[in-house]
Chain A
Amino acid sequence: AQSVAQPEDQVNVAEGNPLTVKCTYSVSGNPYLFWYVQYPNRGLQFLLKYITGDNLVKGSYGFEAEFNKSQTSFHLKKPSALVSDSALYFCAVTLNTGFQKLVFGTGTRLLVSP
């Protein structure tokens, strides 16, 4: 069975500092990995995905994520945080075979202070 762990309920960072939101996954096979962001009272929005190829994936709003197969991790990063990045972030995984049924992590709240 697939699973995703986001070990931090909340991450606090000052504006202008780099941020990392952690994600580890477990699948029996090769994964497709996704990051989504949710702003208050809104649906989820796609940020980026890893399918295959380069382990460093670049996405929307200056975010990037690094796929590490040996550590089964897919951490979300941004070099310089903005207050407007404050939101709830979800990591999700699916197998690269068959129909895509995403399994989501529990979410990490990112709080960027001015």
Chain B
Amino acid sequence: NAGVTQTPKFQVLKTGQSMTLQCAQDMNHNSMYWYRQDPGMGLRLIYYSASEGTTDKGEVPNGYNVSRLNKREFSLRLESAAPSQTSVYFCASSEDGKINEQFFGPGTRLTVL
């Protein structure tokens, strides 16, 4: 099993450009999450999907959109990138949104110039 995979690993954008971060899991998990990690701030939840067909805002959703394409895939889109969105982005999944641990992907390092 590959677990949680993310593409791309690295990306540099100019202000105003758009891009989509891809995430897929092969563990048949129901719930998926997008986080951003910034120095000194830990991880903050951007959006989550409790189950296929549903998405909800997390702590810092502004400037982002998500799509739960199917049970395996959960993408994060930046419509008009800003320097404040420079961060490391992690996708995670869990069996359900109750007490099960989350499994994390390797991350995407995004720089917005």
Chain A residues within CB distance 8 Å of chain B: 4, 32, 34, 36, 41-46, 49, 51, 90, 96, 99-107
Contacts and interface: CB of A to CB of B under 8 A. Distances in A.
B94 interface: yes
Given A90-B43, A102-B102, A106-B40, A43 B4 contact: yes
Contacts of A106: 40-42
Best-buried of B94, B101, B106 by chain A (most CB within 10 Å): B101
A54 to B, nearest CB: 15
A104 B101 contact: no
Contacts, number: 58
Contacts of A4: 42
Interface of B: 4, 31, 40-45, 48, 50, 58-59, 90, 92, 94, 97-107
B99 A44 contact: no
B43 A44 contact: yes
Contacts of B40: 106
B45 A101 contact: yes
Contacts of A43: 4, 90, 92, 104-107
Nearest to B107: A43
Contacts of A41: 106-107
Contacts of A105: 42
A44 B104 contact: yes
Given A43-B106, A45-B104, A100 B43 contact: no
B98 A107 contact: no
Nearest to A97: B98
Contact of A100 (B42, B44, B99): B99
A45 to B, nearest CB: 7
Contacts of A103: 45, 59
